[in-house]
Every structure is written in C-alpha cells, then in structure tokens.
Structure 1
C-alpha cells in the first residue's frame, strides 16, 4: 500500500511539474502589432479577414447531418430482421423514414433548401 501511495505521489508531482513548465514556456511575452494582424503580402489588408458565415450553409449542413444519422439508425434494422417479426421492424423503419421525410418536406416548404432566394 505504501508503494502505491509513493508511486501515485511521484506521478502527480511529475505531471504537475510538466504542466507548470509547459505553461511557462508556451506564453508569448511580446505581442507585436505586425504579428497579430493578418498577413497579405506585406500590405495592410483592404478589408477584414473575418467573412460573415452563411446561415443557409449551416442549415443545409444540419439537414445533411440529420440524414447521415438516419442511415446509422436504420442500418441495425437489417441485423435484427432475423430475430424480430418482419412486420414490426418494417413498421418501425417506415415510421422513422416517414417522420424524417416530413421534416425534409417542412424544410423544403420553408425554403431552407433554396440556396439563392
């Protein structure tokens, strides 16, 4: 028991020392205006480097993720097809696909899927 406590204290001491040393050497002490500004071939940038993010792109990415997760939810249905009666897993999968299709239809009617309005 004493050996385990000593090993634990040594490992805590070594990891704490490594954390302290890494934080001391990783800090930037000199903040230069040239280093913190965006680089554009030695010239001052004409416009900001931050481009506004398109919310439409975000919504289409969310729709893609929903359908990507849908595939991972429906794949196990083929595995359980031999143990569960076909009517049950067909109704379960069909209901799930119907709900996801209703969501897609709603997005389509709302105009979320149209890139240019």
Structure 2
C-alpha cells in the first residue's frame, strides 16, 4: 500500500465509517510524510511550519485514528494497523456501510 492509497483508505473510512469526518489538509500532509518515513522536524521544514505545531497535528491525527479504528495508532505503527485493518475489512462482509469497492 502506498502512502496515497493509505490516505485514501483512511479518508474513506473516516467519511463513511466514523462520525463522517475528514482529515484536513495539514493532517493529510503529516500522514503522507509520516508514511514516507519523515520525522516531525523534517515535515515541519518541508511544509514551512513550526516543529511543535506539526507534533501537535500529529498527536491529534493519531488520537483521531485510534478512536476511529478502535486500537492504538501511532507514528510508529500506522502502517501495520492500516494493513491489518484493510485485510480484515476486505475479508469480512460489509457491516459498517463502507464501500468495499473503495477500501479493498
């Protein structure tokens, strides 16, 4: 799964499966850059934000994803959680009303 595929998966899951929310632009950028292995410091430099602000955005992002997926999600485990959740979602019948055609 690429970073963009993971972001699409997360965004679709959040829109259709959890409180109908979406990631904002900065959350999406932090997600993509984290997926690519960048540190918060590197992300802040690339995007032109303060390091502390990016850390705060990241913390909120992982907290939101943890609530949505029902398990701890962090910068360190986001790839494993999403791969596991995608496999699990695609193997089961559609019980959350989320389009499996989009997620799988």
TM-score, normalization by structure 1? 0.28
Larger-gyration structure (1/2):
1
* Higher RCO by CA contacts (8 Å cutoff, separation 6 or greater): 2
TM-score, normalization by structure 2? 0.31
